[in-house]
Amino acid sequence: MKKFVISAALAGGLFLAPTAADAAFGDNTLRVGMSNGEVSQLQETLKEEGHFNHSVTGYFGPITRQAVIDFQREQNIQVDGIVGPQTFGEMNVSGNGSSTTTSTSSNQTQVAGASTTSNATGIVNTAKSLQGTPYVWGGTSPSGFDCSGFIQYAFNQNGKSIPRTVSEMYNASTKVSNPQVGDLVFFETRTGPSHAGIYIGNNQFVHSGSSTGVTVASLSNSYWSQTYIGAGRI
């Protein structure tokens, strides 16, 4: 697969609504409803690959989503219409907006060269970007998640395969006394490990709750502090 080169003219002329931090193409997850320069670059990249045959607008609407889906199908990766780390990786785009030199012929090859810290950051960024997604029993996609489906999706989007159920995640994890960003936090809401979330720092975790959908919660909350049974690292 060819690598994509973002030209200086594109970088300077197509940013419609740059953020204060001037995030580079590849830093942020892109999804329907967003409107900024990163989406413009995405559209240009998809156009180069032959999946986007429309004017560059910088708005991530249904047409752009379909182009992303077509690209994901072509690359044989998870098809969800959202541009996260896995999709960026297949575009050979790194977080600084440049093409990567690491082969992306397989997700495992890409992840093997990534640091634990950067991988954890990617997982957390993906998880936080999904806030507001509704809870769906058995859900494993951005149309709806259950608690373990949400965690598995966030990890898969960053090239890391983990078990499907909370109890399997708990058994597969290395237990830690003090969770770090990207670790899993487990709760006993029924008998045994029955709920989990992704720790994001500052005593907070992001999870898919049955009554809240994907949201951020605090370990200091009276309910979560009483049902908390520990943290694990996968």
Residues designated as active site: 147, 195, 207
Q: Report the 10 Å Cβ neighbour count for 129.
A: 21
Q: Are 184 and 174 in contact (CB under 8 A)?
A: no
Burial 134-145 (b: 16+ CB within 10 A, else e): ebbeebbbbebb
Q: Are 108 and 190 in contact (CB under 8 A)?
A: no
Query: Crossing angle, helix 37-48 and helix 62-75, to 10 degrees?
Result: 50
Q: Which residue has the tokens 């979560």?
A: 224
